[in-house]
């Protein structure tokens, strides 16, 4: 199996990410695709990866560069701020060997970080576990990537949903690994959450034109929040999601103005 990790100024989290991939119970080929990092990212990548490539301008292009240069029949895409459980590679190999109709695998994702809003994010991520409207596959057969053309390089947000759903639309099944990843969110503020979603919102109009575009409703998630056991945190999730929704809409409006 090949694991592709796109990077850009990822020195804070990258070593822990790559060390967790090197610690897999089954061997992996590790490909890092760096987008002009100016911190210690290239040096960390060189210490762990089998191959370090340069590419951009955004992560969809980086991932495509990575899997096209890879030698594995199965390709996983892990972000540079994620820490992988040691059994993921072995579980993926077993799943694909057992099911010829399997095209992709979701890796369950939880998160950690510093401060109240990072704790809120962790509760939100746990509420998403097992929800097909939110999760997206991160591990694919190479033949499935070849068939659908990999990531859509016109999308630098929602591209994970887009790829997974195009693979499913091709007639292949999507499964999930028992083991997961932990996403290092660092320190979240409402301002940083808004700005990040405003950036992603630039691609919302383009994504909504795709035939497999998902709805953004999250009623099921709200029902899984700990409203009684932890009402403050549950309220925090609602505030955080409202802030992010405002950012997405602002980014989408800006993209519309730029296009007109």
Please provide the average confidence, as pLDDT, over all residues in the chain.
94
Whether the predicted pLDDT of 219 surpasses 60: no
pLDDT at 226: 67
pLDDT at 217: 63
Between 259 and 18, name the one with better pLDDT.
18
Q: Give the up-direction half-sphere exposure of residue 90: CA atoms within 13 A in the CB hemisphere.
A: 9
pLDDT at 228: 54
**At which residue do the structure tokens 């033949």 appear?**
143
Mean pLDDT of 137-149: 98
Read off the pLDDT of residues 49-72 as tens digits, 9 standing for 90 and up: 999 999 999 999 999 999 999 999
pLDDT at 229: 66
Mean pLDDT of 132-159: 96
| 218 — pLDDT class (breaks 50, 70, 90) | low
Mean pLDDT of 110-118: 96
Strand 109-114 and strand 181-187: pairing?
parallel
Mean pLDDT of 194-221: 88
Give 214's DSSP letter: P
Burial readout 88-124 (b: 16 or more C-beta within 10 A, e: otherwise): bbbbbbebbeeeeebbbbbbbbebebeeebbbbbbbb
CA distances from 175 to 12, 59, 70, 108, 129 (A): 31, 24, 22, 11, 13
Whether the predicted pLDDT of 110 surpasses 80: yes
Number of neighbouring beta carbons within 10 Å of residue 226 = 14
pLDDT at 223: 65
Name the pTM for this structure: 0.93
Read off the pLDDT of residues 247-259 as tens digits, 9 standing for 90 and up: 999 999 999 887 7
| 83 — pLDDT class (breaks 50, 70, 90) | very high
Where do the domains of the chain lie, and which CATH numbers do they carry? 2-259 (3.90.550.10)
Mean pLDDT of 117-140: 93
């Amino acid at each position: 199996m090949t694991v592709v990790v796109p990077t850009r100024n990822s020195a804070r989290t990258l070593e822990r990410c790559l060390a967790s991939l090197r610690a897999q119970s089954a061997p992996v080929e590790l490909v890092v695709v760096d987008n002009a990092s100016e911190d210690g990212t290239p040096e960390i990548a060189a210490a762990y990866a089998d191959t370090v490539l340069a590419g951009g301008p955004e992560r969809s292009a980086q991932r495509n560069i990575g899997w096209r240069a890879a030698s594995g029949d199965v390709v996983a895409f892990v972000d540079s701020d994620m820490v992988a459980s040691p059994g993921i590679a072995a579980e993926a190999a077993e799943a694909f060997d057992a099911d010829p109709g399997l095209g992709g695998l979701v890796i369950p994702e939880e998160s950690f970080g510093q401060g109240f809003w990072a704790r809120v994010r962790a509760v939100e991520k746990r509420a998403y576990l097992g929800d097909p409207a939110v999760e997206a596959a991160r591990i694919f057969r190479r033949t499935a990537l070849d068939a659908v053309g990999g990531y859509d390089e016109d999308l630098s947000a929602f591209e994970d949903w887009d790829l997974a759903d195009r693979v499913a639309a091709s007639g292949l099944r999507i499964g999930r690994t028992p083991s997961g990843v932990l996403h290092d969110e660092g320190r979240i503020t409402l301002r940083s959450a808004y700005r990040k979603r405003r950036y992603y919102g630039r691609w919302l109009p383009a994504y909504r034109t795709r035939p497999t575009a998902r709805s953004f409703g999250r009623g099921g998630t709200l029902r899984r929040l700990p409203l009684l056991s932890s009402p403050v945190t549950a309220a925090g999730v609602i505030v955080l999601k409202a802030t992010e929704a405002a950012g997405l809409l602002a980014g989408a409006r800006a993209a519309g103005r730029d296009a007109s």
